[in-house]
Amino acid sequence: FDSLENLFENLEKLSLKKRELIKKYISQAKLSKELATIITSVPIEMNIEELKVKEPDKDILFSLFKKLNFKGLMKEFTLQKPQKANYKDYNDITTCQNLEDLVSKLKKASFVLAVEKSENLQGIAFLLEGGASYWLPLEQTKIKKDLLIGKLSPILEDSKIKKTTHNFKETIFKIKESGMNLDGLNFDTELAAYLLDPLSSNYSLRDLSFNYLGIEPGQEFHPV
């Protein structure tokens, strides 16, 4: 009969049993055909060329992965090569004069500090307004430890000099172990990261640096 409609129009040509059976389920047969029919007359309100597979918009996709917290895809999917940390204004404090210069700058403004995780406090990293950063080793240094503590203590203990750190409890503990105290804490980046994303499993500075700044610290980065 070529088509369902033609079959319905020629039911009298069928045997009585088949005719009665089709009449009983004719509405279901029509619905089944309607559901199985691909409609080709739907208006297409987009340019077909735009549907062709092409390179993804890396910035948009990277932002989407970040929003959905797809950290693995952010790192594995080569969408946006993370910037390497810029150490152009990075300074190692290796001499007494370096220390004097740093202390002079720390007295004038608030700053960020972070300690290196290890059994003993290996050193303190400082970041000043404007982006200048400093690494002050406390163990492997030619500067006498008594001199270091004598110069740093008044600044670290001054509550009027506001300080930002990462994991303030551990920072306070590590600095106290080295014979100094810390006061004037104004902001904790680890606590802030938790408030922004309480379900995250990692709040390390390395991860936060990648997730929020798109910067991946290199091997020379002092882990905190």
SS3 81: coil
Q: Is residue 221 part of a domain?
A: no
Do 39 and 100 have their domain in common?
A: no
Q: What is the pLDDT of residues 33-76, one digit of tens each?
A: 888 888 888 887 888 888 888 887 877 887 888 788 787 777 76
Q: Is residue 39 part of a domain?
A: yes
Do 102 and 155 have their domain in common?
A: yes
Q: How far is CA 124 from CA 50, 92, 119, 120, in A?
A: 53, 11, 14, 12
Amino acid letter, 68: L
Cα–Cα distance for residue pair 79/2, rounded to 1 Å: 53
Let me know how many helices (H) and strands (E) the chain has, helices first.
10, 8
What is the domain range of residue 62? 55-81
Q: Is residue 138 part of a domain?
A: yes
Do 146 and 128 have their domain in common?
A: yes
Q: Is residue 222 part of a domain?
A: no
Do 163 and 198 have their domain in common?
A: yes
Do 102 and 4 have their domain in common?
A: no
Do 202 and 114 have their domain in common?
A: yes
Q: What is the pLDDT of residues 145-202, one digit of tens each?
A: 899 999 999 999 999 999 999 999 999 998 998 899 999 999 999 999 999 989 888 8
CB 122 within 8 A of CB 79: no
Cα–Cα distance for residue pair 69/201, rounded to 1 Å: 11
Q: Is residue 223 part of a domain?
A: no
